[in-house]
Chains A and B, each alone.
Chain A
Amino acid sequence: MKAIVNVALKRGVLDDQGKATHHALDTLGFKEIIKDVRVGKQIILELNSTNKEEAQAEVKKMCEKLLANTVIEDYDIEIVG
């Protein structure tokens, strides 16, 4: 089983990397199609668990403790396989 964790800055916290990337894409000719760009990171965990709910709960604990800084970041967890 695998957990895919996506971490990104919260809405309302200015994402300077997203802004810079947005600007670069604008200048590359994608201005019309882009509404917003946000840069985050993805953490992929290979798990020993076979229980989806248990895995979800454990990965949530990991996010709160280490994987995300909840002062500025939101996270979402996807359990696959």
Chain B
Amino acid sequence: MNVTVLQFPGTNCEYDTRYAFEKLEAKVTIVWHKDYELPDNTDLVVIPGGFSYGDYLRSGAIARFANIMTAVQDFAAKGGKVLGICNGFQILLEAGLLPGAMKRNNTLHFISKYHHLKVINNDNTFLQELNQGDILNIPVAHHDGNYYIDEMGLKELENNGQILLKYCDEKGNLKSLNGSVEQIAGICNKQKNVFGLMPHPERAIETLLGCDDGVKMLQGFFK
């Protein structure tokens, strides 16, 4: 399994992401945003968290025009698997690889803490190791995670099983964290090869550091 992790100016989760995938025995290559090509043998592209271009203008708005993003668009169009975590999710939205947009958290605060998530749909590569209704505890750390999509778009997400994860409490009752439409924390595209989520599974892979619920998520890509 060959994982390519992108790196933009301001990315800060690339090494955590590498650590997480190497722990699962993937071969990880970090690729700089100015490159034009992904390594030939790439099985999965991960756009990690951080603050690409200082979140200037809008989170992800400038990163989506980086050289490497053309290669990512082509890779995704051919069915290649892409995962965006946090700022990576924002970049995928800005790039139009996932539907909807991010707004500032409705609390207007930067939220950094563990938060529970409910698995809404596991009929996809990413969450296949989990069951529908499973509750995970994964850290979030973002200012712009208030997911917005219009009503028609939301219906489409629901009908196609594209809603992957929602914020909930420890018992699994859905709970608003940041104002996201329908408490959405993660989605995928219609073809189910592009995935985006605000929480950080790569920060939850060692029990020593609190929790390893992220392992089950990332393992899906190894099947």
Contact = CB atoms under 8 A, between A and B. Distances in A.
B80 interface: no
A67 to B, nearest CB: 7
Contacts of B100: 71
A14 B179 contact: yes
B99 to A, nearest CB: 8
Contact of B61 (A17, A20, A66): A66
Contacts of A14: 103, 106, 179
A16 B108 contact: yes
Main secondary structure of the interface of B (DSSP, over half): loop
Interface residues of B, number: 18
A13 interface: yes
A37 interface: no
A16 B103 contact: yes
Question: Chain A, interface size: which category?
Answer: 10 to 19
Contacts of B108: 16-17, 20
A72 interface: yes
Interface in B1-15: none
Nearest to A41: B57
Interface of A: 9, 13-14, 16-17, 20, 66-67, 69, 71-72
Interface of B: 57-58, 61-62, 65, 93-94, 100-101, 103-106, 108, 146, 148-149, 179
22 contacts: A13-B148, A14-B103, A14-B106, A14-B179, A16-B105, A16-B106, A16-B108, A16-B146, A17-B104, A20-B108, A66-B57, A66-B61, A66-B65, A69-B58, A69-B61, A69-B94, A69-B101, A71-B100, A71-B101, A71-B148, A71-B149, A72-B101
